[in-house]
């Protein structure tokens, strides 16, 4: 019996939303493999259908997400590959995701790049995915289902470069307002890089921190945020440069 496995790395929960939208088009039972927390080897069967969603960080899949995804192995398992970005650039992220899945014995049948509200610069892609995006995502899912039923595999060439562009470490500071922090330690538990010490959650090891936004997104007191001169200087220029609407792209 087919089972839908939703695999995602979604620090700000926007990629998770896109994966859920696709999964809602399937009638089969589904389960979650959240790579923000799951860091073990896992093997899928040939009758599973895996929907894999990854965010785009400066044109790449996040390094930690790549490492965790590489531990997942297929057995000619059907897969739908999706990268989700904040209206800036996809660059090599989608071809990287497809490569990883195919190397790990997944049969990629369709791929997509989708747009969501930017997780760092909140003035970009506000309200997305919107109704127009959702309609396109649902159409993509229905086409993918039809292709699975017909036994097809990915035929389209995926844009991107090999070797992939180098990883970039953003210079932005992630800070915590100690007047708001209630020491709930949610940020400590969610941080995939273990960059926040449990004895002082107001501290962040910026050498380890990937600026993924998981700690900012999960904080119930809104105590965490990007700060510093580099962030303040970059924000207006980035938001202006990426104001023009980009559209999701789909490959079969």
| Cβ pair 31, 1 in contact under 8 A | no
- pLDDT average, residue stretch 123-148: 98
Q: What helix, strand, coil percent values describe the chain, rounded to 5?
A: 30, 20, 50
| The pairing of beta strand 30-34 with beta strand 3-8 | parallel
| Cβ neighbours around 52 below 10 Å, total | 27
The H-or-E segment that residue 22 falls in is helix 14-23
Domain-wise residue ranges, the chain: 3-163+247-251, 173-234
What integer pLDDT is reported at residue 193 of this predicted model?
96
What integer pLDDT is reported at residue 2 of this predicted model?
84
What CATH number belongs to 173-234? 3.30.70.20
Whose tokens are 């273990």? That residue is: 194
Q: Where residue 60 falls among pLDDT bands split at 50, 70, 90?
A: very high
| 26-53 pLDDT tens trace | 999 999 999 999 999 999 999 999 999 9
- pLDDT average, residue stretch 144-170: 95
| Cβ pair 41, 104 in contact under 8 A | no
Tell me the CATH number of domain 3-163+247-251, given options 3.90.1150.10, 3.40.50.720, 3.30.365.10, 3.40.50.360: 3.40.50.360
- pLDDT average, residue stretch 6-25: 98
- pLDDT average, residue stretch 159-176: 95
What integer pLDDT is reported at residue 136 of this predicted model?
98
Does the pLDDT at position 212 exceed 60? yes
What integer pLDDT is reported at residue 1 of this predicted model?
53
Q: What Rg, from alpha-carbon coordinates, does the chain have?
A: 18
Does the pLDDT at position 178 exceed 90? yes
- Angstrom distance (rounded) from CA 236 to CA 241: 9
> In this structure, what token pair is assigned to residue 125?
């892609």
| Cβ neighbours around 84 below 10 Å, total | 27
pTM for this model (two decimals): 0.95
| Percentage of the residues of the chain whose pLDDT score is greater than 90 | 98
């Amino acid at each position: 019996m087919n089972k839908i496995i939703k695999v995602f790395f979604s620090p700000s929960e926007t990629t998770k939303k896109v994966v859920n939208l696709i999964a809602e088009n399937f009638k089969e039972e589904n389960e979650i493999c959240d790579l923000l927390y799951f860091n073990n080897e896992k093997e899928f069967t040939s009758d599973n259908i895996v929907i894999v969603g990854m965010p785009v960080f400066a044109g790449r899949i996040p390094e930690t997400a790549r490492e965790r995804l590489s531990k997942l192995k297929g057995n000619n398992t059907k897969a739908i590959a999706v990268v989700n970005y904040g209206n800036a650039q996809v660059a090599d992220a989608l071809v990287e995701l497809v490569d990883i899945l195919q190397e790990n014995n997944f049969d990629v049948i369709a791929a997509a790049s989708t747009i969501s509200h930017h997780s760092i610069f909140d003035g970009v892609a506000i309200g997305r995915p919107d109704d127009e995006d959702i309609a396109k995502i649902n159409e993509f899912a229905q086409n993918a289902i039809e292709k699975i039923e017909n036994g097809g595999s990915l035929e389209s060439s995926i844009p991107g470069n090999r070797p992939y562009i180098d990883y970039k470490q953003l210079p932005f500071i992630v800070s915590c307002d100690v007047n708001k922090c209630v020491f709930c330690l949610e940020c400590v538990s969610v941080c995939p890089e273990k960059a926040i010490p449990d004895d002082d959650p107001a501290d962040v090891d910026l050498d380890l921190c990937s600026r993924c936004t998981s700690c900012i997104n999960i904080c119930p007191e809104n105590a965490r945020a990007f700060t510093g001169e580099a962030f303040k200087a970059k924000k207006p220029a980035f938001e202006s440069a990426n104001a023009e609407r980009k559209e999701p792209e789909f490959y079969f």
